[in-house]
Structure formats: C-alpha cells, structure tokens
C-alpha cells in the first residue's frame, strides 16, 4: 500500500472487503454442518466459492468421492473431516492477517493526517519530477486478496524531496561550491552516500572541476569519502587525466592525496604517487566497439512541383539583389580579401560552423575560384556568397563512373546568405548567376557535372548521391575544454550531468602503446614539397594509376590531369598539408591531405593547429583501422593538432572510425549531390552509393 493518505472511498472499500471476508468465514463454517458440503480449500476466494451452489457431482463432495473410495469408506471420511478442519483454520489465519493489515493501514493514515500540518512541504514540482510516476492509491481493491497491486499515478501528489538532486553534481563539475552546498542541503542530499549511476560521488566531480578549494570543501566539510567508481576510477585518476600531474605547486593533486589518506585509500600512499597519465589511460581507456550502429538517414521528400537545385526562374527579389559573379584570378588583391572575408563571415552554418572555412586573409585559394557576391549597397557588406571551382580536364575514374568518364567536373561550395537577408531570394540569385558564369567558362566542353555537399537534404530531384558522416576524435580534450570553443565541441558535457571532462580525455587521448605499434612505419611518411616538380609528378602518377581502382576501395574518383591541376585543386591551398608514404625505391604507396582549420572563437590554448580535417586520402597498402591510426598520428605529431575530423569518404568506413574511438558528429551530416549543369537535374549514369566509395575534392575549396 502507498504511504499517501487514503480517501474516504478507499477506506469504505477496505471496510466493505473486511465485512465480505467475515461473512464468507461464517458461511464456510455453517456449511460444514450440511451433508455433502465442504468448505472451500482456497483461502484466497472464500466469498466467491461460498456463493456457488453445492453440486456434489461437480465440487467433489462426499457422495462423489465415495464412489471412487476404497472399500473401507470410513477411513476416507476421516481424512476428509481432517481436511475440513485444516481449511477452516487457514481461513481464520487469513482473515486475522487481513484484519491486522487493515488496522495498521488505517492507524498509519490517521497518524499521517494528524501530522500533516507539521510536515515539511515540498517545493513546486519541476517538469523533470512531474514525469516520475508515484503510487498514491490502490485503484481496484478487488484484486488486493490476489496479491496483484493495480495502481494509478498522481503527478501532483506532494513529495518529501526533489528528484533533481543530480544538479548537485553539475554544480560540482562546474566548480560552484557555494551553490552546490546550498542546493544539496535544500534537497536533503546525504553527502556521504550520494553518487551517480556510475558510482561517482561528489569528490569525483570536484576533481574534474580542478578546484583544490572545492575538493577540500567536499572532503573535509561535507565528509564525502574518497572511493573508486564502478570501473575503479578514483578522483586522483580524473585529476591526472585533466592535467594535474602532481608536483609541489599542484594544489589539486595535493588536496586529493590528503583526502585519500583521510579515507584510508591506497591513493594516499605510494600507489597514488606512482600513478601517471599513461598508467591511467592504460587502465581505463574504453575498448573499441565490436559493432557500429549509426543513426539512419531519413528518406528525401519528393518535390511538390518541378524543381532543381539550380533555380531556372529569377524572382523579383533575386533580380534586385545585385549579384556580381567573376573569376578570382581577375580580382584585385583588395577584392580577393573581400571575397575571403565574405566566405569567413557569412558561411557560419552547416558543417562545423564553429570553425573558419578558410584562413582569414588567405587570398591564394580565391585565384582558382568562380565567385558570386550579392550586395544591396548597405554598409554591412555582402549579403551572400557562392563559390565554385572548375577542374580543367580532371576525369572521373572508377567502376561506377564509366558513363560519366568524359564529363567535366565542377565543385561548388560556401553558399551562404547573411541572416537578415535570408528568404529574400538572395540564394536563388546567387545560384542563377553562378550557373550562368559556369556556362561561360565551360562553353563547348560537352557534359558538365557539378558536385556539391549540402547540410540540408533537398527535395527530390535532385537525388542525393551519398550521405557523408563526419567523425571526430579530440586528442587534447583538456586544452579544448579550457578554450572558448568548449561548448561547440563538447556539447554533451554541458547537456548531461554525468559527463565529465575526464571522459573526453580518456576516449580521445592517444596512448603511447598506439605510437609504439606504428613506430617502425611512421618514418616512411614525409611532408610533400608543393614546389618540387619531382615529388608532385610522383604523386600524380600514383593517383592516375591507383585512384578508382580496386586497391583504393573507391568506385568514383576524380583524378587531376596534370601537375598544375594537382597543385591548384589539392595542394595549393594555404591551409593544406600533404603527406606521402613511400617505399625504399621512392614509390608512393599512400597519400593524405590534411586541412588546418582555426576556431572562430579566438583563444590561445596551445601552439599548433586547433583542428585538422581530412580533405583527401588515397591508401593502397594500409587497410581498416590502420588508415585512421596513421592519419591520427600524422595530425597529432606533425601538425600538433588538438583534434582530427574525418569524413566517411576515400575508402574510410564508419566501422573503421568507430573502432578507432572516433565519435560521429550527427548534426553535421552532409548530402552529396551531382547535378548536370545543362539540365539542372540528376546526372545520368551516377546512382546512389556509399560515401566511402567516393573520392572527390568536395572539401578542398
């Protein structure tokens, strides 16, 4: 029964039930004196059985049993009388137990009502708490004797304490000791025993905050014990993961050691002093998943009317937008910088908007672009921008590109509109002007395929060629947490109470064992000198012979026609860093191009790159997770990057990334489209495929 006060109806129902049981007992006792009848042997339903007619042939009375009894019938009757006496005793016991239970319930409810005026009243029910069902009454008392408790919920019933006490842990990991203590005391938190679902108490969260003052408050004033969680991770382990390696000046480390000594834990002695970051990583690093479950991609919606990505009809607003489209090579230095600033300032949506699209002030990539700028003459600057790059003679190769092998390739990117100018036809005007410009540039070239990636799934047509999923691993999670981009990168830390900084460090840090595994192979990688004709020629030969082949695990690949095209599309961008792996005979076997990306929020957290992004890769001697491991070590050791971003392209699968402890950035999935410039619709000969089968320079602009 519930501890909530009973209503008058509930009390009346219980009293009625008690009367029924007493009447049933009396009827059962009286029936023992009637010939051919026996009391019910089922103490759970005496009333229902007593109400049934006494049919000897069906109920198994003395007459019916006598027909099947042995010749000494008197002995059988003696056994039946003993059974009747036992059944009667059982009924008496059941009735007394039920009466006693009713008396206790009534007395308890009466006492609760008398004390109701002095009980502590709970604060208003929060939205989180209102979702928690509480048992307040037995809705159908006729099932009580069967042991089945049919209960109803009342979300407005008063409670003696709030259910949001995990907020204490959030305040602890944020380092707010005063608010944590006040909130915990108001909720009635028992500090010594309070822990989350993983067995982490407040001291674990204080260690994650990195505040020595908070650790002393929790350990000394609140008397929270120093214990290990369910995975045997201690507060000192968490501090080591977050960069508190000990030393005379490290107050956090000293405070945790003192707390461990006070609790008699081993971390307060020699074993705690011997712990290092590498030992903690080796002991607690999460194992790679055995299988990968990815969020499904929704089916595209059919367009209501005739529609394609390249708008064929200009709206009045589009005509008045004032779009200027020109080649980047024809722009002056100031105009090139203005175009670069427009891309950086406007392209703040879609894929990883918290990173800069290109290095601020870098004018070199603009020379190879076709740029469309929209302006309304206001001092605020351009209202929109769109960029495309025409590849001169770069053929498509691969098993799935046979029908479009002779088509000319164009890559479009950076379509962006200023927030106050959205839904005014600016995007339509940009695309219409860019298409007209591209038709001039590629006039007489035959079939032209425009590839682009969109963060939004468009209505069909066109049909998405593939879905690219971006994965991320943060090597220096502690540094990123200390930067202004922490919320952009670690959204879960600010969303869920139980996520700690140390969890991200534990999953993202590169252990020494991984480096030792590839210590013999890393020297074969070297930085590609873009100005070297010999090195570029070797890379071009490698791409021509291997891209789109079975060795590359790619079905559609774009291959540059010459060294100039290789530099212009893949190597010449100032943000790109190219690495090649060669044999002893100087033959290229693997090729990776990484792009350095800066955070939009300026913060000097450490030297090196904030993020490295894979924009092209071609592997022939490395397979599976080894591909990801090599790229990870290149980004960490050669670029000193704090994180690596990898798309599911270039033969790299979701399984490879997940098994290398990469996390998918689900909100930043992209849909790759291939549109015919002339028909403004899907390209005949290209059908949907897995993104890992694509090798296109979509992210080199």
The structure's pTM equals: 0.73
Report the alpha-carbon distance of residue 675 to residue 531 in Å, rounded. Answer: 34
By mean pLDDT, which of 31-45, 66-80, 387-401, 447-461 is the weakest?
Answer: 66-80
By mean pLDDT, which of 309-313, 551-555, 681-685 is the weakest?
Answer: 309-313
The per-residue pLDDT for 685 is: 82
Contacts of 700 (CB under 8 A, 6+ apart): 411, 569, 570, 573, 576, 593, 595, 615, 616
Q: What is the dihedral of CA 359, 361, 366, 372, to 10 degrees?
A: 100
* Closest listed residue to residue 599, CA positions, set 505, 479, 422, 468: 479
Is 621 a residue whose pLDDT tops 50?
yes
Q: Where are the alpha helices (DSSP H) in 547-677?
A: 563-566, 625-633, 654-658
Q: Hey, how many other C-beta atoms are within 10 angstroms of the C-beta on 254?
A: 16
The per-residue pLDDT for 579 is: 95
Q: Please give the share of the chain, as a percent, with pLDDT higher than 70.
A: 74
Residues 613-635, mean pLDDT to the nearest whole number: 93
Q: Where are the alpha helices (DSSP H) in 132-228?
A: 167-173, 177-187, 202-209, 212-216
Report the alpha-carbon distance of residue 223 to residue 189 in Å, rounded. Answer: 13
Locate 613 and state its tokens. Answer: 């992004």
* Closest listed residue to residue 679, CA positions, set 454, 512, 495, 450: 450
Is 356 a residue whose pLDDT tops 50?
yes
Question: Which single residue is written with the structure tokens 């971390």?
Answer: 267
Contacts of 426 (CB under 8 A, 6+ apart): 317, 318, 321, 374, 383, 384, 417, 418
What is the rounded average pLDDT for all residues in the chain?
78
Report the alpha-carbon distance of residue 70 to residue 619 in Å, rounded. Answer: 91
Between 52 and 603, the higher pLDDT residue: 603
Q: Name the pLDDT band for 221 (thresholds 50, 70, 90).
A: very high
Question: Which single residue is written with the structure tokens 């709206």?
Answer: 315
Q: Are 614 and 570 in contact (CB under 8 A)?
A: no
Give the rounded distance of the alpha carbon of 642 from its chain centre: 20
Give the rounded distance of the alpha carbon of 256 from its chain centre: 31
Is 475 a residue whose pLDDT tops 80?
yes
Q: What angle do CA 471, 475, 481 make, to 5 degrees?
A: 95
Is 605 a residue whose pLDDT tops 60?
no
Q: Are 449 and 684 in contact (CB under 8 A)?
A: no
By mean pLDDT, which of 207-211, 376-380, 451-455, 619-623 is the weakest?
Answer: 376-380
Q: Which residues pair with 201 in a beta bridge?
A: 195
- Residue 616's SS3 state is strand
Residues 103-132, mean pLDDT to the nearest whole number: 49
Report the alpha-carbon distance of residue 173 to residue 170 in Å, rounded. Answer: 5
Q: Where are the alpha helices (DSSP H) in 459-592?
A: 477-481, 486-489, 491-495, 501-508, 512-517, 533-546, 563-566
The per-residue pLDDT for 474 is: 95
Q: Hey, how many other C-beta atoms are within 10 angstroms of the C-beta on 99?
A: 13
The pLDDT tens digits of the residues spanning 493-526 come to 998 889 999 999 999 999 888 888 998 888 999 9
Report the alpha-carbon distance of residue 429 to residue 373 in Å, rounded. Answer: 10
The pLDDT tens digits of the residues spanning 122-156 come to 444 433 333 333 333 333 433 444 444 444 444 45
Contacts of 591 (CB under 8 A, 6+ apart): 539, 542, 543, 578, 579, 580, 581, 616, 617, 618, 619
Is 65 a residue whose pLDDT tops 70?
no
Is 39 a residue whose pLDDT tops 60?
no
CATH number of 167-284: 1.25.40.20
Residues 568-585, mean pLDDT to the nearest whole number: 90
SS (H, E, C) 399-421: CCCHHHCCCEEEEEEEEEECHHH
State how beta strands 643-647 and 470-474 pair.
Answer: antiparallel
Between 95 and 20, the higher pLDDT residue: 20
Contacts of 441 (CB under 8 A, 6+ apart): 327, 370, 390
The pLDDT tens digits of the residues spanning 244-270 come to 876 656 899 999 999 999 999 999 888
The pLDDT tens digits of the residues spanning 154-165 come to 445 444 444 456
Q: Please give the share of the chain, as a percent, with pLDDT higher than 90.
A: 35
Report the alpha-carbon distance of residue 592 to residue 645 in Å, rounded. Answer: 13
Residues 394-403, mean pLDDT to the nearest whole number: 86
Residue ranges, CATH 1.25.40.20, the chain: 167-284
The per-residue pLDDT for 349 is: 52
Between 329 and 73, the higher pLDDT residue: 329
CATH number of 467-695: 3.40.630.30
Residues 641-661, mean pLDDT to the nearest whole number: 93
Q: Are 577 and 617 in contact (CB under 8 A)?
A: no
The per-residue pLDDT for 113 is: 53
Residues 446-467, mean pLDDT to the nearest whole number: 85
Is 68 a residue whose pLDDT tops 50?
no
The per-residue pLDDT for 117 is: 38
Q: Name the pLDDT band for 220 (thresholds 50, 70, 90).
A: very high
Residue ranges, CATH 3.40.630.30, the chain: 316-452, 467-695
Contacts of 47 (CB under 8 A, 6+ apart): 20, 21, 23, 24
Is 580 a residue whose pLDDT tops 50?
yes
Report the alpha-carbon distance of residue 455 to residue 672 in Å, rounded. Answer: 9
Report the alpha-carbon distance of residue 127 to residue 108 in Å, rounded. Answer: 31
DSSP state of 365: G
Residues 671-687, mean pLDDT to the nearest whole number: 85
Is 1 a residue whose pLDDT tops 50?
no
Q: Hey, how many other C-beta atoms are within 10 angstroms of the C-beta on 418?
A: 22
Residues 311-340, mean pLDDT to the nearest whole number: 71
Q: Are 571 and 561 in contact (CB under 8 A)?
A: no
Residues 628-644, mean pLDDT to the nearest whole number: 93
Size of the chain in residues: 701
Q: Name the pLDDT band for 650 (thresholds 50, 70, 90).
A: very high
Q: Are 269 and 257 in contact (CB under 8 A)?
A: no
Q: Name the pLDDT band for 324 (thresholds 50, 70, 90).
A: confident
The per-residue pLDDT for 109 is: 62
The pLDDT tens digits of the residues spanning 549-573 come to 888 889 999 999 899 999 999 998 8
Locate 471 and state its tokens. Answer: 């994965």
Report the alpha-carbon distance of residue 466 to residue 163 in Å, rounded. Answer: 45
Fold of 316-452: Aminopeptidase (3.40.630)
Locate 518 and state its tokens. Answer: 């590839």
The per-residue pLDDT for 234 is: 95
């Amino acid at each position: 029964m519930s501890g909530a006060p009973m209503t008058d109806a509930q009390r009346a129902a219980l009293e009625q039930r008690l009367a029924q049981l007493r009447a049933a007992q009396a009827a059962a006792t009286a029936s023992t004196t009637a010939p051919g009848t026996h009391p019910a042997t089922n103490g759970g339903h005496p009333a229902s059985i007593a109400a049934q007619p006494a049919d000897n042939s069906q109920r198994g009375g003395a007459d019916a049993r006598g027909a099947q009894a042995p010749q000494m019938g008197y002995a059988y009757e003696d056994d039946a009388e003993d059974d009747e006496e036992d059944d009667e005793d059982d009924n008496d016991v059941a009735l007394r137990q039920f009466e006693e239970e009713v008396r206790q319930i009534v007395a308890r409810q009466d006492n609760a009502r008398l004390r109701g005026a002095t009980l502590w009243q709970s604060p208003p029910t929060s939205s989180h708490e209102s979702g928690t069902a509480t048992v307040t009454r037995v809705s159908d008392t006729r099932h009580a004797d069967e042991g089945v408790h049919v209960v109803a919920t009342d979300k407005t019933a008063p409670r003696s304490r709030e259910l949001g006490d995990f907020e204490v842990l959030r305040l602890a990991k944020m380092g707010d000791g005063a608010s944590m203590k006040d909130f915990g005391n108001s909720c009635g938190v028992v500090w010594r025993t309070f822990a989350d679902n993983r067995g982490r108490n407040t001291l674990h969260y204080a260690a994650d905050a990195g505040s020595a003052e908070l650790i002393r408050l929790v350990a000394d004033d609140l008397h929270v014990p120093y214990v290990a969680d369910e995975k045997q991770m201690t507060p000192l382990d968490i501090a080591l993961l977050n960069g508190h390696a000990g030393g005379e000046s490290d107050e956090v480390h000293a405070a945790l050691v003192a707390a461990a000594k006070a609790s008699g834990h081993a971390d307060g002695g020699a074993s705690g002093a011997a712990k290092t970051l590498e030992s903690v990583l080796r002991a607690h690093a999460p194992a790679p998943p055995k299988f990968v479950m990815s969020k499904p991609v929704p089916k595209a919606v059919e367009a209501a009317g005739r529609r394609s990505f390249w708008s064929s009809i200009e709206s009045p607003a589009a005509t008045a937008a004032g779009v200027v489209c020109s080649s980047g090579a024809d722009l002056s230095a100031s105009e090139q910088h203005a175009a670069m600033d427009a891309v950086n300032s406007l392209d703040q949506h879609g894929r990883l908007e918290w990173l800069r699209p290109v290095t601020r002030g870098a004018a070199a990539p603009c020379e190879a672009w076709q740029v469309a700028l929209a302006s309304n003459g206001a001092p605020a600057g351009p209202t929109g921008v769109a960029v495309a790059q025409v590849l001169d003679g770069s053929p498509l190769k691969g098993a799935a590109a046979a029908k479009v092998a002779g088509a000319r390739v164009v890559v479009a990117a950076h379509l962006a509109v200023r927030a106050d100018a959205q839904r005014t036809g600016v995007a339509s005007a940009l695309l219409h002007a860019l298409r007209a410009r591209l038709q001039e540039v590629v006039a007489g070239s035959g079939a032209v395929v425009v590839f682009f990636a969109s963060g939004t799934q468009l209505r069909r047509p066109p049909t998405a060629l593939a879905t690219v999923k971006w994965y991320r691993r943060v090597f220096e999670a502690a540094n990123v947490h200390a930067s202004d981009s922490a919320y952009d990168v670690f959204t879960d830390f600010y969303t869920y109470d139980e996520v700690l900084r140390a969890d991200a460090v534990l999953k993202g840090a590169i252990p020494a064992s991984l480096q030792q595994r590839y210590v013999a192979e890393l020297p074969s990688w070297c930085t590609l000198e873009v100005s070297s004709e010999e090195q570029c020629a070797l890379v071009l030969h490698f791409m021509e012979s291997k891209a789109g082949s079975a060795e590359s695990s790619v079905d559609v690949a774009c291959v540059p026609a010459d060294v100039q095209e290789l530099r212009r599309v893949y190597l010449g961008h100032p943000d790109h860093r190219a690495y090649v792996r060669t044999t002893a005979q100087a033959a290229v076997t693997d090729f990776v191009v990484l792009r350095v990306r800066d955070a939009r929020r300026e913060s000097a957290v450490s030297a090196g790159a904030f993020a490295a992004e894979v924009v092209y890769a071609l592997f022939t001697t490395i397979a599976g997770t080894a591909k990801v491991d090599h790229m990870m070590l290149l980004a960490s050791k050669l670029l000193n990057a704090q994180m690596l971003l990898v798309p599911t392209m270039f033969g790299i699968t979701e399984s490879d990334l997940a098994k290398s402890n990469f996390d998918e950035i689900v909100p930043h999935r992209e849909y790759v489209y291939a549109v015919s410039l002339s028909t403004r619709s899907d390209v005949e000969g290209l059908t949907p495929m897995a993104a890992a089968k694509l090798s296109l320079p979509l992210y080199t602009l």
